[in-house]
């Protein structure tokens, strides 16, 4: 299968390219890192890249929480306009198979249960609560403490920042394209991806990359809030494998005419503090420092139930958390 990988020179995209080649497929890369004119928003560049292609793996995006609302236009342009240009070109070229790099940020907060009211959806945390060190969301009905759980793909979408909003819009665009063309589309909702080639020292890097960069400078990783935030850290090679699995399923394992979303995580929740400690241990210190600081717009807990991806497509993560963090601590970006 000849597969166009947008963003194929990036962190995740480059691993997808390697995984495709290892499975005997022919990856084709469209990435401004390799060619400044190869912008996914450029209709002519995209049309040329689609020549002879059987499927598209769309990884190109502006990623991360960002630095406020000032970069909203850039996010919308790169993520949503870029996706619209790509899908339009795919429709014209007769390419009917798409795997989209989705994200767990579309959910907002994760799944919570109240001992009195069952499953509830807490609203965004307030500045007053965060300033007071009240990091855990409370039941919106009675104010009791909530128990976090695994979020499934049928959870309501509730994006909490510009980046999250653009990732949800990408899914809606892909679903509309699939209905209009009878195409087959999958969104892999990545959880916290880490591993070799992860970018660092930018506002858009992941928390694991910030911790590693601090350790490389001989500094203690700074852990926000109380360090008990729960995330699902999944290795980039496992995510690349999920992309190949999904691409191979587009020919028969996934129904056409709609978009199917799959959580893509390890399935094992870890706290942010635990992750900082694992990296510090692998690096030989310094010990992480819990600061109590916070970023407005961050969610407290978001961990994946990836059972659908395992059950329907047969994907399994292979990289152990401790081994993966040890490797990550030892490599350069």
- Give the E-state strand segments of the chain in sequence order: 2-6, 26-30, 55-58, 97-103, 111-114, 118-120, 147-151, 184-190, 192-194, 222-223, 230-231, 233-235, 258-264, 270-271, 289-290, 303-304
286: preceding bond cis by omega (within 30 degrees): yes
Judge whether 163 counts as a catalytic residue.
Answer: yes
Residue with tokens 């689609």: 50
Q: Strand 55-58 vs strand 97-103: parallel, antiparallel, or unpaired?
A: parallel
Alpha-carbon distances, residue 177 vs 83, 165, 170, 184, 274 (angstroms): 10, 18, 11, 9, 41
Q: Yes or no: say if 58 and 82 are a contact pair by the CB < 8 Å rule.
A: no
Please name every residue paired with 119 in a beta bridge, in sequence order, or none if there are none. Answer: 113
CA separation for the pair 112, 208 (Å, rounded):
25
CA separation for the pair 297, 299 (Å, rounded):
6
CA separation for the pair 6, 39 (Å, rounded):
9
Long-range contacts of 126-133 (CB under 8 A, 24+ apart): 127/296, 130/294, 130/296, 133/226, 133/292
CA separation for the pair 5, 28 (Å, rounded):
6
CA atoms within 13 A on the CB side of 153: 18
Residue with tokens 């653009």: 166
From 163, 190, 262, 294, the catalytic residue:
163
**Which active-site residues does the annotation give?**
163
């Amino acid at each position: 299968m000849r597969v166009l990988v947008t963003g194929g020179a990036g962190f995740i995209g480059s691993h997808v390219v390697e995984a495709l080649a290892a499975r005997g497929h022919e990856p084709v890369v469209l990435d401004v890192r390799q060619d400044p004119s190869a912008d996914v928003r450029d209709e002519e560049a995209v049309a040329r890249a689609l020549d002879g292609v059987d499927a598209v793996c769309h990884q190109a995006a502006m990623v991360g929480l960002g630095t406020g609302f000032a970069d909203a236009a850039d996010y919308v342009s790169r993520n949503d306009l870029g996706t619209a240009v790509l899908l339009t070109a795919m429709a014209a070229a007769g390419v009917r198979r798409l795997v989209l790099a989705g994200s767990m940020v579309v959910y907002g907060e994760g799944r919570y249960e109240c001992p009195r009211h069952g499953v509830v959806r807490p609203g965004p945390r307030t500045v007053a609560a965060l300033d007071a060190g009240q990091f855990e969301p409370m039941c919106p009905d009675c104010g009791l403490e909530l128990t976090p759980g695994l979020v499934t793909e049928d959870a309501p979408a509730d994006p909490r920042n510009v980046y999250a909003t653009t990732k949800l819009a990408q899914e809606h665009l892909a679903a509309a394209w699939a209905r209009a063309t009878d195409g087959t589309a999958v969104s892999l909702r990545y959880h916290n991806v880490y591993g070799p080639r992860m970018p660092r020292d930018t506002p858009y890097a992941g928390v694991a990359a910030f911790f590693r960069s601090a350790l490389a400078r001989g500094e203690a990783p700074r852990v926000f809030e109380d360090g008990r935030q729960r995330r699902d850290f999944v290795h980039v090679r496992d995510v690349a494998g999920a992309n190949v699995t999904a691409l191979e399923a587009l020919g028969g394992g996934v129904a056409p005419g709609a978009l199917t979303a799959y959580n893509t995580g390890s399935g094992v929740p870890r706290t942010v503090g635990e992750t900082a400690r694992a990296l510090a241990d692998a690096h030989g210190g310094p010990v992480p420092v819990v600061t109590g600081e916070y970023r407005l717009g961050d969610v407290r807990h978001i961990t994946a139930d990836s059972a659908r991806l395992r059950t329907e497509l047969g994907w399994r993560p292979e990289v152990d958390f401790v081994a993966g963090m040890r490797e990550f601590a030892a490599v350069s970006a």
